[in-house]
Amino acid sequence: MGLLSDPNRRRALTNLLTRLNTPICVLCYLAGVAWFMGLAFEPFTLRTYMSENAMGSTMVEERFPAGERALVTAREFGAHKRKSGAMPVDWLVKTMQSRGLEVYTQSFSRRLPFPDENKERYMVRGTNVYGILRAPRAPRTEALVLSAPCSPDNSNNQAVGLLLGLAQYFRSQIYWAKDIIFLVNEHDLIGMQAWLEAYHHTNITGMDWAPLHGRGGSIQAALSLELSSDVVTSLDLVLEGLNGQLPNLDLANLFYTFCQKQDILCTIQEKLQRSDWDSVSGYSQAVQTMALMVLKQASGRPWGDHGLFLRYHIESATIRGINSFRQYKTDTTTVGRLLEGMFRKLNNLLERLHQSYFFYLLPSLSRFVSIGYYMPAFGFLAVILLLRALDLWVQLGALPSVTEDGVGSRALPLQSSSPSLVSILTPVVISHLTGAALYTLPVLSQELAVQHFPVSETEAVVLTAIAIYTAGLALPHNTHRYSSIAKQGWRVLKLVAVLYLAVLLSCTALINFSLGFILALTLVPVAAFVTPHVPKVLSAVVMVLLAPGCTLLYCVFAFQELQEAPVSLIDGWMLFLSVISQGMLDHALYGSLVYPLLALFIYPCWLILWNILFWK
Amino acid sequence: TARPCMLISSSVALDFVLIGRTSAFLLLHQARAERFFRSDHTNNWAVLVCTSRFWFNYRHVANTLSVYRSVKRLGIPDSHIVLMLADDMACNHRNPKPATVFSHKNMELNVYGDDVEVDYRGYEVTVENFLRVLTGRLPPSTPRSKRLLSDDHSNILIYLTGHGGNGFLKFQDSEEISNVELADAFEQMWQKRRYNELLFIIDTCQGASMYERFYSPNLMALASSQVGEDSLSHQPDLAIGVHLMDRYTFYLLEFLEDIHPASQANMNDLFKVCPKSQCVSTPGHRTDLFQRDPGSVLITDFFGSVRKVEITMETINLTVPGIPLERFGGEPHTETALAYVDQLPVAQIIHQKPKQKDWHPPDGFILGLWTLILLVFFRTYGIKHLKHIF
């Protein structure tokens, strides 16, 4: 007889599974964590290389001469900005027209669901200005975008100046095969979202914008520039976009090769390159860089103005100029030459960037880890859930035989050995209703909260969210009253919860590996060990400490630690509150999915496990 | 070894040229005259194909155009060249110097020129069209410029360049031609007597695999790299932003620039073009199917056009010294000043009477008429009046 159809052998296998379940789970967890930490180890990573044939090597002659003139333009722009208080639309239109571009403006307005305390805005109204440089001989089917945000304070003037200088230089060349759109967006991400939505004729977030009068063709690639000083010591590349989406690795490779050609210092996560990656300190820096990227990707928010392009399958990155105390400085002309070289190479593209990886982690700019290498780390953690589910299934299957064989000390009625569907659904439904309340109530009830409590709207929203989250902890005492299921019904519920969590985390990891991995790190042990029979108080404390909310708190502290700007507990708590409010705003403004995922799916799942802990 | 027909034609020529003869001079002149009729091809054709498109394959178009330029310079007219270019580099939007294709960096040599005639362009360059051109199986509506109208006395040069692999050549990023197909096409050409001798040059990666399967006679083949080797590109131009030429064709062009229509360089020199030190890959050649010794095959047999005229600066004594040449006629023939034939005889068109320089006796008709009138007069009025007249 076969291995699985022979009852004796099957019983032997299932006994093995039951006996070894916990050790294997522990082993898998440790293997997953070790695999993740080992990803940054230098011999396991691959050197980055240019995959796109059309972009070839850096053989192009950059001749951009006008760095100083760009700085003069930047100072003019700054002066006009100070004078008008907002973006100097007329001056920008006039300057772009004098450089020979087709200039258009777009106005937009948006009322945020609650005031944004970080950027101090609530009712946002602005104008985007963009100029299109038409390709001299090509049909208008493709476009490239160079954008610089217009910040209200005195930053990013040099970015706009360099953008205008490049526009003038590009205008006199004849080798452009794609239109180039020079965009200056106001209110950074909100303006960019308005422009992109109007360009692609979609309206995802309910913003109010004027339609675009001038258009350039389908956008192949976009670069966003942030430059706040006349000289820079290094250029930082920001890749993480909305919902953890990353541009094609070829764009990062292109930036890196041109940085090397122009002899500019380039960084990622603001960490410098080094030559000794296989030493201990090199390894720790690689791990730090990778961990920063994981945290940024998991937050699901766009970390530069480029982050919103990725949703439309436009490869984009942000280049940020950093001026630190270093001897070797790079002037604006060299930065302009780097951008010129990158644009000439992007001009040679015949199709969208697709040859290189879309899913990767970068321990440094010269090394990468592709999805095939990092996914097993998550796979080990997901296997734990499947093993637990198998174990529960075996236990559930073994139960009727136990009651049949058992000498009637506990005369259980036969129908209660298989709990009814309704009794399982009750905790599930109530948990999800709590999740839905966590998702909708904070924003809806901010008016009510402001009336009754002396807090601002933002604080009201955040504190309501925390309140609902904590209130969910009290649920088991309530749900229990409505159910009258047998003591062993918790196994079915746990089976459902574990499988649900496995599916949820796997789907999340496919789209946003970092988010899935971080959630799995804390939720999988909870899901694995929780039963009604473990010591209640200790496990309750552990569960609360490993809950999604606390995971977010740890991530905030870890992020600050990795950025070498550690915060005290109070500051960390304030940061945590602002992170919650930013998450909700990102969801409302740009369609970030982290907040709905956590509120509507992860939190109810955790609540179901909390219910199992307090099963009576 | 000379063929019988060559000996016959040479001896016939000798009969016309020589008058006096001795056996030694006969042999010397025979050897000299044989040089006129070494190869028995009467016309030259060239089929030059570039199979890759896209801007970053600029160098393949430049390769083909440089061979085209050499072949035209050495005498093959456009009507005998079938030029197939899969993409237009000169007018590509990314070309910073429009209407030019350069083969040297610093833009020394524009191989596009002013008078290039591309017969198959863009998407017309397909495997099917290429094989149809070779075998002649074209629809009746195909214009002459797109046909290879060779006969059994044609020497054909075929040059292919692009991306290739072991046993295939990629056309246009979408299809391939295999070495078996190519060999079969040449066999069809042989059976239809569409060529006298054929020189096949290929500049791709692993190009030697393309001539491995040839089995028809009178084929000579050259390739830029052996199986397992890649053909490398030569030099990038930073202003244009692409590689301009492949190494093998670059050195081939350099070699051909020194060839002029009367050059005596032979195939052994061509085999030495681009040694491994310059080309990095190992060029290969195949001559086992070729009947003549490669050392006796002139470069101009394939790259140039047939000329029965040998331009020489030295004087050749075609006569036996000491035997005077008999002249036709006695006195020297005074050369009348030659004039062109009147292309437009206005006089005949406008019917003018030609001015007569000499006096001619009156017309016989008028004479007879007067005689008749006189006889009638004397008959009617009597003969006695006759003494008044005479």
B217 half-sphere exposure, CB direction, 13 A CA radius = 7
Interchain contact, A59 vs B96, CB within 8 Å: no
Which one has a higher pLDDT value, A426 or A92?
Answer: A92
pLDDT at A140: 86
Q: Which CATH architecture has domain A53-365?
A: 3-Layer(aba) Sandwich (3.40)
Domain locations along chain A:
2-38+374-406+420-613, 53-365
The model's pLDDT over A404-446, given as tens digits with 9 standing for 90+, comes to: 444 444 444 444 445 567 778 888 999 999 999 999 999 888 8
- List, for residues B59-71, the tens digit of each pLDDT value: 999 999 999 998 9
> Phi and psi of A186, rounded to 5°?
-100, 150
Chain B residues close to A177, C-beta within 8 Å: 92-94
Please write the tens of the pLDDT for every residue from A110-130: 999 888 888 888 999 999 999
pLDDT in tens, A499-553: 999 999 999 999 999 999 999 999 999 999 888 888 889 999 999 999 999 999 9
Confidence of residue B231 (pLDDT cuts 50, 70, 90): confident
Range name among A458-462, B71-75, B302-306, B344-348 with the lowest pLDDT average: B344-348
Q: Which of A585-594, B90-99, B245-254, B312-321 has the lowest mean pLDDT?
A: B312-321
**What angle do helix axes A489-511 and A603-613 make, rounded to 10 degrees?**
160
* B91 catalytically annotated: no
B235 and chain A in contact, CB less than 8 A:
no
pLDDT, residue B336, reads 63
Smallest CA-to-CA distance from A340 within A51, A53, A58 is with A58
Q: Which of B50, B205, B274, B279 is catalytic?
A: B205
pLDDT top residue among A401 and A15: A15
Q: Tokens 């000996």 — which residue?
A: B7
The CA radius of gyration of chain B, in Å to the nearest whole number, is: 33
The residue among B87, B93, B107, B233 with the most chain A CBs within 10 A of its CB, best to mutate, is B93
- Residue-wise DSSP of A164-193: HHHHHHHHT-S---SEEEEEEEETHHHHHH
Residues of B with Cβ-Cβ distance to A56 under 8 angstroms: 56, 242
- Rounded distance, CA A109 to CA A104, Å? 17
Structure tokens at A294: 């994981």
Q: By C-alpha distance, which of B158, B175, B208 is closest to B53?
A: B175
Exposure b/e, B74-112, CB count within 10 A at least 16 = b: bbbeeebbbbbbbbebbebbbbebeebbbbbbeeebbbb
DSSP state of B266: B
The residues that bridge with A146 in the sheet, in sequence order, are A182, A223
Distance CA B49, CA B172 (A): 11
Nearest to A269 by CA among A230, A243, A234: A234
A266-268/A218-226 β-pairing: unpaired
Residues 333-352 of A with CB under 8 A from B: 344, 347-348, 350
Question: Within 13 A of A157's CA, how many CA atoms are on the CB side?
Answer: 21
CA distances from A430 to A475, A547, A616, B10, B70 (A): 9, 18, 17, 110, 85
> What is the pLDDT, as a whole number, of residue A26?
94
Residue B174: CB atoms within 10 Å: 10
Within A160-299, strands assigned E span: 179-186, 208-209, 218-226, 234-238, 266-268
**Residue B92 touches partner A, C-beta closer than 8 Å:** yes
Task: List all residues of chain A from 170 to 199 with a beta carbon under 8 Å from chain B.
Answer: 173-177
Full DSSP string of A470-498: HHGGGHHHHHHHH----TTHHHHHHHHHH
Give me chain B's average pLDDT, please: 82
Residue A295: predicted pLDDT: 95
Apex A597 CA angle, A591 and A603, nearest 5: 150
Q: Which of B53, B54, B56 to mutate to test binding with chain A, by most A CBs within 10 Å of its CB?
A: B56
For B317-366, how does the pLDDT look when each residue is reduced to its tens digit (9 = 90+)?
777 666 555 555 555 555 566 666 666 666 665 655 555 566 666 678 88
No. of helices (H) and no. of strands (E), chain B: 12, 12
pLDDT value at residue B34: 56
pLDDT for residue A168 is more than 90: yes
Nearest-angstrom CA–CA distance, B177 and B308: 38
Q: Which of A302, A281, A270 is nearest to A563 (CA)?
A: A270
Q: What is the spatial distance between Cα A300 and Cα A162, in angstroms, rounded to a whole number?
A: 30
pLDDT value, residue A409 = 43
Q: Please count the other Cβ atoms lying within 10 Å of the Cβ belonging to residue A525.
A: 18
Identify the H or E element spanning A386: helix A371-405
Q: Does residue B1 have a pLDDT over 60?
A: no
| Contact predicate A547/A607, CB 8 Å | no
The whole-number pLDDT of residue B240 equals 83
Crossing angle of helices A457-471 and A569-590, in 10° steps, is: 100
* Residue B25 banded pLDDT, cuts 50, 70, 90: low
Burial code (b: 16+ CB inside 10 Å, e: under 16) for B202-240 equals: bbbbbbbbbbbebebebbbbbbbbebebebebbebbebb
pLDDT at A404: 46
Contact B204, B162 (CB under 8 A): yes
For the segment A237-275, what is each residue's pLDDT rounded down to a tens digit? 999 999 999 999 999 999 999 999 999 999 999 888 887
State the DSSP H helix or E strand holding residue B177, giving kind and residue range, or none if neither. strand B175-178
Please count the other Cβ atoms lying within 10 Å of the Cβ belonging to residue A354: 12
Say if B55 is an interface residue toward chain A (CB within 8 Å). Answer: yes
Instruction: Please give the Cα distance from B120 to B50 (Å, whole number).
Output: 10
Which of A130, A125, A128, A121 minimizes the C-alpha distance to A110?
A125
- Could you count the other beta carbons within 10 Å of the beta carbon of residue B331? 6
Distance in angstroms (rounded) separating the CA atoms of residues A107 and A128: 6
pLDDT for A12: 85
Give the amino acid at A74: A
User: How far, CA to CA in Å, does B64 sit from each of A490, B51, B59, B168, B250?
Assistant: 77, 10, 9, 19, 11
> How many interface pairs between A and B have CB atoms less than 8 angstroms apart?
44
Question: What separation in angstroms does the CA of B272 have from each of B210, B277, B289, B300?
Answer: 20, 12, 19, 16
The β-bridge partners of B199 are B157, B220
Q: Between these two residues, B20 and A47, which has the higher pLDDT value? A: A47
Residue in chain A closest to B95 (alpha carbons) equals: A175
Chain B residues within 8 A of A355 when measuring between CB atoms: none
Is residue B185 scored above 80 in pLDDT? yes
Task: Give me the percent of chain B exceeding a pLDDT of 70.
Answer: 74
The amino acid at A586: D
Complex ipTM: 0.79
Task: Report how far residue A215's alpha carbon sits from residue A200's, in angstroms, rounded to the nearest whole number.
Answer: 10
Provide the 10 A C-beta neighbour count for residue B292: 16
- Nearest CA to A259 out of A324, A335, A318 is that of A335
Most confident of the following: B180-194, B264-278, B359-373: B180-194
B95 contacts in chain A (CB < 8 Å): 175
The verdict on a CB contact (< 8 Å) between B238 and A53 is no
Dist CA A162 CA A333 (whole Å): 9
Q: What is the predicted pLDDT for the residue at A406?
A: 45
Residue B163 falls in the annotated catalytic set: yes
Tell me whether A405 touches chain B (CB under 8 Å): no
In this predicted structure, the answer to whether residue B205 has a pLDDT above a threshold of 90 is: no
**Using CA atoms, how far apart are residues A154 and A87, in angstroms rounded to an integer?**
12
Kindly report, residue by residue over A184-236, the tens digit of the pLDDT: 999 989 999 999 999 999 988 888 999 999 999 999 999 999 999 999 999 99
Predicted confidence band at A555 (pLDDT cuts at 50, 70, 90)? very high
Taking the CA of residue A367 and the nearest CA in chain B, the distance in Å comes to 27
pLDDT of res. A425 = 85
Residue A571 above 50 pLDDT? yes
Asked whether the beta carbons of A361 and A368 are under 8 A apart, the reply is yes
Per-residue pLDDT tens over the stretch A134-166: 998 888 899 999 999 998 888 899 999 999 999
> Considering only CA atoms, which of B187, B159, B199 is closest in space to residue B301?
B199
Q: How far apart are CA B364 and CA B361, in angstroms?
A: 8
User: Which pLDDT does position A413 carry in this prediction?
Assistant: 45
Percent of chain B with pLDDT over 90: 40
Give the pLDDT of residue B176: 94
- Give the global pTM: 0.81
Distance from the first to the final alpha carbon of chain A = 42
Per the DSSP assignment, residues forming a β-bridge with A116 are: A121
Q: Look at residue B73 and give its three-state secondary structure.
A: helix
